[in-house]
Copies of this chain bind each other. A is one copy, B any other.
């Protein structure tokens, strides 16, 4: 393919879906990818560019002139177009927009650029099919044909009044089965779910999932129809949300991928590792306080990694369940009920594990008191860790902070420190050093 027999390549790629071509471009080295992009005709290129990874797209667009970019943008739906323009550097944005040929299209894109990325306005596209309630079915079908030209997939036909206020929707079925002279007013469905432009994207996702919607109309503050969001954009929101929680739990502060640069990966990973380091140093200082016990009770020090690990594991488990419950909006009951439940759960788990650990340490060290001290501490640590793991995400959520930050290194580190403190304190009570 690198022999640059253009026609041959074009023939080969003619039948290939743009998503596959985008994948191919990402896998090729940069120059071959750029070459391929320039070779393809504009309609396909624009789709390929919209499909690329953000990083790869940025690199490719750098090599294109504002005019070339504008040509690609002209081919795209308004939502994809606005997303790509939003990624461009400030000074290039205006240049590209000024080169757009379709003035209507350009106006719509500029309007979309006004909205925040994570609101309904940022997700929506302007392409939709709308009809006036005062038309009859015949006018309606005619108008729809014209509008449908611009819209890739017709999801719903929205009905508006003379002021563009959203009134309802029209079912294709009804349209096919009513006489052409019937007024739209008499056949349309008056109930339609909608969201306002400023609604958060996660809330839009929740609504569309709950009611199994495939598209939802977006209205402005006074109820005028301004766009529509389709389920494929929502799939991306859901995936991103899930990945964000996952990454937080894994101790990554930024959205990173395996193929990012070492510098990006370091920036995402080092902060939490620093926190872990601080926690470890804290634990070491606490143990230093009990150095006097070292001679007679060396065995206690051997079990500190176990105590720290168990405190961390229990904390992560309880916080993860709470975080997931909050994300899916299916937590019922009060905070104190939650804590009580976690307490009973920790009692069960703690008792089982403490008995096992007691048996093991007694056999190993044949010292009843030491074994007792270690296992009772484990029991106490598990209960405290469970309660902290449950309380912190609930508390953060009440304060309007994303509870997902409470999972992962944050909870393990704080539980490490609490765990070791409780451990030595109980051991001291029992063994009396």
Contact = CB atoms under 8 A, between A and B. Distances in A.
Task: Tell me the number of copies of this protein.
Answer: 2
Interface in A207-231: 209-212, 214, 230-231
Given A249-B249, A284-B303, A321 B172 contact: no
B177 A145 contact: yes
A360 B277 CA distance: 11
A231 B235 CA distance: 9
A428 interface: no
Contacts of A409: 313
B256 A231 contact: no
Nearest to A320: B250
A103 interface: no
A78 interface: no
A357 interface: yes
Nearest to A308: B305
B303 A280 contact: yes
A204 to B, nearest CB: 13
Interface in A284-308: 284, 287-288, 291, 294, 298-299, 301-308
A158 to B, nearest CB: 16
A325 B258 contact: yes
A273 B325 CA distance: 21
A110 interface: no
A246 B348 CA distance: 24
Given A209-B235, A273-B353, A262 B19 contact: no
Given A252-B321, A272-B313, A273-B314, A214 B281 contact: no
A234 B309 CA distance: 37
Interface stretch (A87-95, A115-123, A130-138, A338-346): A338-346
Nearest to A283: B305
Contacts of A279: 306, 309
A284 to B, nearest CB: 4
Contacts of A291: 298
A374 to B, nearest CB: 9
A416 B232 CA distance: 42
A176 to B, nearest CB: 6
A257 interface: yes
Given A232-B212, A250-B407, A305 B321 contact: no
Classify chain A: how many residues form its interface, as a range. 35 or more
A240 to B, nearest CB: 10
A239 interface: yes
Interface stretch (A2-10, A33-41, A62-70, A263-271): A263-271
Most chain B CB atoms below 10 A, which of A19, A234, A279, A281:
A281
Contact of A317 (B173, B176, B252): B252
Contacts of A177: 145
B310 A312 contact: no
A17 interface: yes
Contacts of A232: 209, 212, 214, 231
A360 B281 contact: yes
Nearest to A341: B262
B249 A246 contact: yes
A148 interface: yes
Given A324-B246, A352-B270, A413 B19 contact: no
Given A242-B246, A324-B247, A416 B330 contact: no
A209 to B, nearest CB: 6
Given A231-B231, A313-B412, 6 more contacts: A250-B319, A259-B331, A262-B348, A280-B303, A284-B305, A316-B408
What are the 10 A-B residue pairs with the smallest beta carbon separation, nearest first? A280-B306, A250-B320, A242-B242, A258-B325, A284-B302, A305-B308, A287-B302, A283-B305, A301-B301, A276-B313
